[in-house]
Every structure is written in structure tokens, then in C-alpha cells.
Amino acid sequence: MSDDFTRRAALAGALVAGVGGLALSSARELLESFAPLSGDAWAAADRTRPDRVESPYGDATVRYDDDGVPTVVADDEPAAYFAVGYVQAFDRLFQLDLQRRVMRGRLSEVVGDVAVADDEFHVAMDFVGAAEATWELVADTPAGPLVEAYADGVDAVIDAGSLPLEFELLGYEPRPWTPVDSMLMEKQISWDLTGNFAELRRSMVADRLGADVASELYPARMDHETPILRESLEAETIGGSGSDGEFGAPGVGASSTVEGVADGAVGGANDAGLEDDADATTAGESVGPALLSWLSRFESPPGTGSNSWVVSGGHTESGRPIVAYDPHLALMTPPLWYEQHVETPETSVRGATFPGVPFVIAGANDRGTWSFTNVGADVLDCYRYEIDDDGDRYRYDGQWREFETDEREIPVADGEDRTVTVRKTVHGPLLEREGRTVGVAWTGHTATRTTEAIYEFGRSDGLEDVLESTRTFDLPTQNLVYADADGRTLYYVTGKLPIRTIDGEVVSGDRIFDGSAGEGEWDGFTPFGESSWEGFVPFEEKPHAIDPHVLATANQRVVDDPDHYVGVSYATPYRGARIYDRLDAALEAGDPTDLAFHRDLQDDVVDGRAARLVPDLLDALEGASDDDRTDAAETLAAWEYRMDRDSRGALLFARWLHHFRRRVFEPAFGDAGLDKSYYPNDWVVATLPADSPFFDERTRAEAMVDALEDAVSEIDAEGWTTYGDWNSTRSIGHPLGVEAPFLDYPERPADGSRATVKNYRVESGVGASWRMVVEPGGDATAILPGGNSGDYFSPHYDDQLERWLENEQKLMDRTVEGDVDTTVVGDRS
């Protein structure tokens, strides 16, 4: 055999082995996806909006503006909402699919084992069951056919097969969209806003650290004077109408209808939940840290909240009211919200919605503008039961009852599928972890009519219409702020507020109820069925204000003395106080405000925590001889409490507060096996008195100085120079950002903190998920934290990010201009 033959054979062998190796190994999948020219992933780069789409619902047109916001025009609503489904799916299909997978407990099916715990929770909570019940109710309303048209519009994109890049990265194709999926989106956002197991945490702290400590660290009522409905404003703005219950007349307000029930409700909650109720104290431990830790993963993200305010036309240049709104929700890539504009003979509506929801949720039509912030209401109750040894039955109403059970499969990609047994009691789902159980009743676990209400908001013709529609807005509990083109203004708490009783006495909900004894039940509530308002606070008795001249919501306490228990999970008052301070100052100065004033207020970065704490810190540092301390003290002394991205003082303060909190609470909490998620809020930290037991071993001043040394050391070690070096947009991630970091938005330094009006929480990736300022019937501006498209290759993927950082809002007008980008052709004929 010649050398040449051997050489040829070797080369041939290498060639065959190379090709065979590639074809038969996992490299083949990579090449099929990402090889140049033929890679399937590159089809995503070729996605172009079609010139023409066929629709079974009639003709429509779609125009995109310079920011990628679609304007849908149609002669009837089904045709319009088919097109809305189409544009939402084209721009956000992966987001749609991912969200429903999360809520259905089908995430593991595409991402594998890592999501099993998440899926187990969502399956056990049976959000799908609640969405199905909701669809049964909504299907027969005027909104029902439009939801179906929307779903068909989404499916038109799926059927066309032109899928976004993420589907190729994960290697799957979406299933058809259904109306139930849209209802699931309502459940998801409602859960994100109101899903709260705070009473379990409070009980755990009481068990581990004592009821007194829990009472000090988790006050049922923070001692501040800026609720949403202020006494000082009552007389000026909502008091004295004397027209109780007459919505058309000015002046019917919660404050005027409230008669000092707080002592019996909120105060009682504190007593019963944390101090005197021995059963409640042991209840936290009965749930157990494993179950609580698991549940905490699925609660509202820390910092979820929002700002909104309204000033009447008497305080604006144009003479029309102005509403400003920025919801603080999870910041992500692409944004949580999608902006759309729909023109039909019935309405002209533009604003933001969640992908998967057909109708504008927060926005404006030709007659008014509306917005929602979170109330912080307690709409989730926890129950413990006497359960038999086999775990098949629970004690209730003096008898043993079988759990309602259902076996559900959780498919797992590249792993073993799981089976979850969904168990339900008369109150709702029963959740279990490591042998510990807790029953859950949540107002979202029933058929709800919010979809109908939102649809009606878009078609409303002024305040009276909106008030009527608000009656059907039963989920979630929100601070509705509205103004119309006639100059009317409105504040109303939406959603159902449960009324609980024990032995016939009304009690608050921040405790763990004995479900076997029938404690704290909600009359009229049918989990996974259709409920009534019986057993909930009547609409007229919910906090509200008609025609307030100025009103601001920032998730703070709604009212000092509510008629009915609302909740205890309110935000710290810093944002609310700052907004009211600036609005009051403008009004007192007699300067009429305009849109620019309100945008500037949205951009406010003054931190009330610093105003409270920094003087004390500087006192503690007085006489410091150490260079680092002296430099830090000088920097903080010259700082004006503004959380600007280029501020050194803001950096020092933010990191100092982190270390101060840790130094104060870590020793006791650590010994008790409680991690930092149990630490109290900033208001408690800032107001914790020097004689608190937490300062027994180290005085408050010493803790402050030590924390500053920690902060300076950390800043030096990390190489940070200004606040933006730490407070960046790095936490605004894409769900696949770990594996495909290019999908994340570019990292930029950011302003704001969790306590500033311009809200940004770098630790949790929460902040202003949408900003808008609207003069009903007039001008409007808005901005998204990123872009309107979720398509990585779209120019509108991140084209609003820089403007969002600067709060440079774009126009949110309702004109129909420009060439038609896509013609939706009806084939009904």
C-alpha cells in the first residue's frame, strides 16, 4: 500500500468522520439553528410585516408610527381586535407564550427541570381553573366575541410560521392561542399585584422573635400623614358635597363616608395577628419555613407599586385636568406593557396593555383618561386545617370532607415528567411543601368581570360611564384615577374587598385562619365558580373621591380611618409625600401646571429616606478623624438627597443604607433563621428609635458609622465612583438573557431609588414600566422602558430605552396618519 494511498485514505477518513461526527452529534442541532444562510434562527431576522393578512372578521388597516406603535382602524370591533391580536403576536409572540406557560405550569416543558418548582406552584394554584371560570362568564358579554377575534389574530401569526428568535433558541413552536389564555393574563397581572403571603411572614417573625418585635417591625399602620385621601384635602376637594351616593355630583368621598373604623379593623388586625392571638402565633410555625420560602418566590415582586395623580382643570394651563401615571412593575426585555391605538366607530383609544390582553388597560380615549395603581389591599387569606393522617380529608363544619383532587401532569424537557395532585377545599387551593400545608383563598380564584370593565373603559363617554363600568371591575384591587374632557375627576378603589368574620365579628385578614373552624370565610365567594358581591365591601362603601382637585396615589395607605378593613401591605410614604408636597407647592403658588410640569414631577429623584437618615449619620460622624470617614461625611453633607446617576452622595447613601439595615437586623434575624427577606421596610429602619432592642449591643450611632465604613470599603473594592455605576439597568433582563445575553437591553446608569418618585429598584428589577401624562381630550405623552417590539431584529426593540431613562416622553396621540403598513382583508363575503 503506497504512502499516497494511505494519505488519501486518511484524508477521506477525516472528511467522513468530520461530517459524520457533526451530523450525528449535538453539533447538528447547533448548525441547523445557527449555520450561516441555512440556520433556522436566521429566519427570525427575515420577519417582515406582511402587506396583507386575511381575516374572517372583516377589513382593517394597520399603521405603525415612528416608535413602532400600531394604529388599527376598522369599521367594526371584531375586525379591529383580530388585527390587534395579529400585531401583538407579531411583536410579542414569545412573551405571550411564555406568560401563559408560567401561569399554566408548562414552563418546564420547554426549559427543563429548572422550572419544575415554579410549575408545581402554578399548577397547584390552578390559575387555569380560575381563567376557565372567568372565560365562561366573559364569553357571554360584549367583550367575549372580541376576545375570540383577538385569539384568532394571534393564531394567524402562529399559523404563518414566522416565529421570533426565542422559539428557535428553545426549539419549540407555540400552540394556538385561546380566549382562556387571555383570561390567564388577567390572572397573572392580578396575582403579581395582590398575591401576598405577608401574614405568613409576620407570623413567622412573631414565632421566632416574639410578638413585640413583630409588632415593632411590621406595624399595621405606618405613622405618617399622607394617605391617598387626606383629611386636609377633604374639605378643600372632596368634602362638603352632601350628596352621598350621588355619583354625578361632586364631593362624594371615602373620607366623608368613613367613620373611624380603623381602630376596630386595622388595629384589631395588629392585635389579633401578632400579639394576642396565640393560635395565630403558632400558625406561622405550623406552615413552616420550607413552605413559606417556596411560596415567597411567587409573591408580588418586591417594590411592585405605582404612582398616579390628577389635578383638576382649575390648576392647569389648559383648564383641563391632567393625569400622570407610572406603574412600577417588573422591568424586563421586552417591556411588560405594549402600546396600541385602536380606531373604530365606537371609540378612539390609545394606551398600554399587557400582551395577551386585547383592550387598552391604561390609556386614553377621546373623552377621558384612566390609570391604575396598586392598593395594597388584603385579598388573599391563608387557612390551616385539621387534616387526617392519610391526607385525604380535612375537618370542616364539624365533619370530615374529602379534598377535591385532580391529577395534573407537568411535562419536563429532557427530564422526568412530574405529576401534581391539585387539592382544593371549600376556600380554594391547598398548597403543600415538605408535609406542611396552607389553604389559600384569593379573589382571583373565581370568575371575574374585569375584562368586560376594561373593554367598557375604552368605549366610555365620561366619568359617569366609567363609574358604572368600575362596578364590574372586580379584580384586582387598584386605585383608579380618572379624568374626563369635561373636567371631571375621579378616584375609586376597584376590586373586591373581602369581609371576614369570626363568630360573627368582623376581623381583619392579616392572620392565618382556622379553616376547619370556618374562620374568616368570604360569603358569596365560590372558588373556581361564579361569585357574588355578598360578603365583600359594597361598591358604594369602598374608598373613593369624586371630583377631587388634587389627588395622588403611590401605594400608600388609602385613608386613615376606613369604614372597612382594606389591608396593611402599604408602601412606605416617601413617594406619596413627595408628590403631594410638590403638587401642594405648585397649587399654593397659584402656578397653573402643564404636561411638562407633571413629567418633571415623574422625574423627581429626591429621596425622603435620606432626608430622615443622613442628618443623623452626619451627627454620628462628627469629629471623625479617619480620612475615609471625613471624605464620606463631606460628600454626604454637600449632597441634596437626589438619587442622580452621576452623584457620589447617592452612591454612598444607597450602599450605606444597605449595610446599616444589615448591621441592625442580621444578628437577631440570622440567629432566628430568618433571612433578609424578613427585614422590615425602609420606613421602619429609618424610624427605629435609638432605644430599640436592636441597638442594645451597638448604639444606633455606632451602627451608622460602622455601616458607612462597610459602604466605603465596598465602593472602593467594586471600583464604583457614582450612583449609576451600581444603580444600572443591568437587572432589566430578558427571560433567556443568561443563555443569550445579547437579548438583554444594553446596560446604562439609571436615576432613582425605591423611595423616589422616579422609581427604580436595581435589586429587584422593578420600576416605571410605563409613563404617561394625559390631558383628557387634549395632548398626551408616554414612554416605555425599552421598545414596543419584542423582536430582537426590530428597530423598535430598544429604541425607547434612552428616552425612558431621561423621561423624554413621545406623543401618544390618536391621529391616523401615514401609509398603511398591513391591510387586513376580510373574507366574510
Q: Which of residues 160-189 bind other proteins (CB under 8 A)?
A: 169
Q: Which is nearer to other proteins, 29 or 173 (CB)?
A: 29
Helix 143-160 with 450-459: angle, nearest 10 deg? 100
**One residue of 172, 298, 533, 793 binding other proteins per CB under 8 A:** 793
Q: Looking at 323-331, 418-426, 691-699, 735-743, which segment touches other proteins (CB under 8 A)?
A: 735-743
Distance of alpha carbon 366 from alpha carbon 346, whole angstroms: 11
User: Least distance (Å) from other proteins to the CB of residue 743?
Assistant: 9
Q: For the chain, what is the radius of gyration of the CA atoms?
A: 28
Asked if 543 contacts 258 with a C-beta cutoff of 8 angstroms, the reply is yes
Q: Is 7 in the site for other proteins (CB under 8 A)?
A: yes
- Using CA atoms, how far residue 305 sits from 359, 556, 754, in Å, is 22, 9, 10
Q: Looking at 28-36, 134-142, 152-160, 238-246, which segment touches other proteins (CB under 8 A)?
A: 28-36
User: Least distance (Å) from other proteins to the CB of residue 806?
Assistant: 23
Q: Is 585 in the site for other proteins (CB under 8 A)?
A: no
Distance of alpha carbon 823 from alpha carbon 49, whole angstroms: 10
- Using CA atoms, how far residue 89 sits from 40, 153, 331, in Å, is 20, 8, 20
Q: Which is nearer to other proteins, 148 or 791 (CB)?
A: 791
3-class DSSP state for residue 682? helix
Contacts with other proteins, 647-686, as mask; x by CB under 8 A: ----------------------------------------
User: Least distance (Å) from other proteins to the CB of residue 318?
Assistant: 42
Q: Looking at 36-44, 180-188, 351-359, 618-626, which segment touches other proteins (CB under 8 A)?
A: 36-44
User: Least distance (Å) from other proteins to the CB of residue 21?
Assistant: 10
3-class DSSP state for residue 595? helix
Distance of alpha carbon 525 from alpha carbon 592, whole angstroms: 47
Greatest distance between any 2 Cα atoms in the chain: 111
User: Least distance (Å) from other proteins to the CB of residue 161?
Assistant: 17
Q: Is 20 in the site for other proteins (CB under 8 A)?
A: no
User: Least distance (Å) from other proteins to the CB of residue 20?
Assistant: 11
What is the amino acid identity at position 22? L
The residue length of the chain stands at 829
Q: How far is CA 260 from the centre of its chain?
A: 31
Q: Looking at 8-16, 209-217, 609-617, 709-717, which segment touches other proteins (CB under 8 A)?
A: 8-16
User: Least distance (Å) from other proteins to the CB of residue 45?
Assistant: 5
CB-neighbour burial class of residue 828 (10 A; exposed 0-12, middle 13-18, buried 19+): exposed
Asked if 381 contacts 366 with a C-beta cutoff of 8 angstroms, the reply is no
Distance of alpha carbon 214 from alpha carbon 204, whole angstroms: 9
**One residue of 5, 24, 278, 817 binding other proteins per CB under 8 A:** 5
Distance of alpha carbon 185 from alpha carbon 81, whole angstroms: 16
Q: Is 45 in the site for other proteins (CB under 8 A)?
A: yes
Q: Is 38 in the site for other proteins (CB under 8 A)?
A: yes
User: Least distance (Å) from other proteins to the CB of residue 162?
Assistant: 15
List the strands of the sheet with 436-442, edge to edge. 404-410, 418-424, 429-433, 436-442, 380-384, 512-514
CA torsion sign for 591, 595, 596, 599 is positive
Q: Is 290 in the site for other proteins (CB under 8 A)?
A: no
Angle (CA) 657 661 662, round 5°: 115
Q: Is 39 in the site for other proteins (CB under 8 A)?
A: yes
Q: Looking at 37-45, 229-237, 503-511, 562-570, which segment touches other proteins (CB under 8 A)?
A: 37-45
User: Least distance (Å) from other proteins to the CB of residue 15?
Assistant: 4
User: Least distance (Å) from other proteins to the CB of residue 12?
Assistant: 5
User: Least distance (Å) from other proteins to the CB of residue 171?
Assistant: 13
CA torsion sign for 599, 603, 609, 613 is negative
- Using CA atoms, how far residue 84 sits from 9, 77, 112, 607, in Å, is 62, 10, 32, 40
Q: How far is CA 822 from the centre of its chain?
A: 33
Q: Is 390 in the site for other proteins (CB under 8 A)?
A: no
Paired with 767 in beta bridges are 329, 760
User: Least distance (Å) from other proteins to the CB of residue 16?
Assistant: 10
Asked if 92 contacts 790 with a C-beta cutoff of 8 angstroms, the reply is yes
Secondary element (H or E) of residue 713: helix 700-718
Q: Which is nearer to other proteins, 11 or 249 (CB)?
A: 11
Q: Which of residues 736-765 bind other proteins (CB under 8 A)?
A: 740-742
Q: Is 117 in the site for other proteins (CB under 8 A)?
A: no
Q: Looking at 3-11, 241-249, 269-277, 720-728, which segment touches other proteins (CB under 8 A)?
A: 3-11
User: Least distance (Å) from other proteins to the CB of residue 96?
Assistant: 23
Distance of alpha carbon 171 from alpha carbon 44, whole angstroms: 13
The residue count for binding other proteins (CB under 8 A) is 34
Q: Which is nearer to other proteins, 42 or 720 (CB)?
A: 42
**One residue of 20, 23, 646, 818 binding other proteins per CB under 8 A:** 23
Q: Which is nearer to other proteins, 176 or 741 (CB)?
A: 741
Q: Is 792 in the site for other proteins (CB under 8 A)?
A: yes
How many CA atoms are closer than 13 Å to the CA of 435, on its beta-carbon side? Answer: 4
Interacting residues toward other proteins by CB under 8 A: 2-5, 7-8, 11-12, 14-15, 18-19, 22-23, 30-39, 41-42, 45-46, 169, 740-742, 792-793
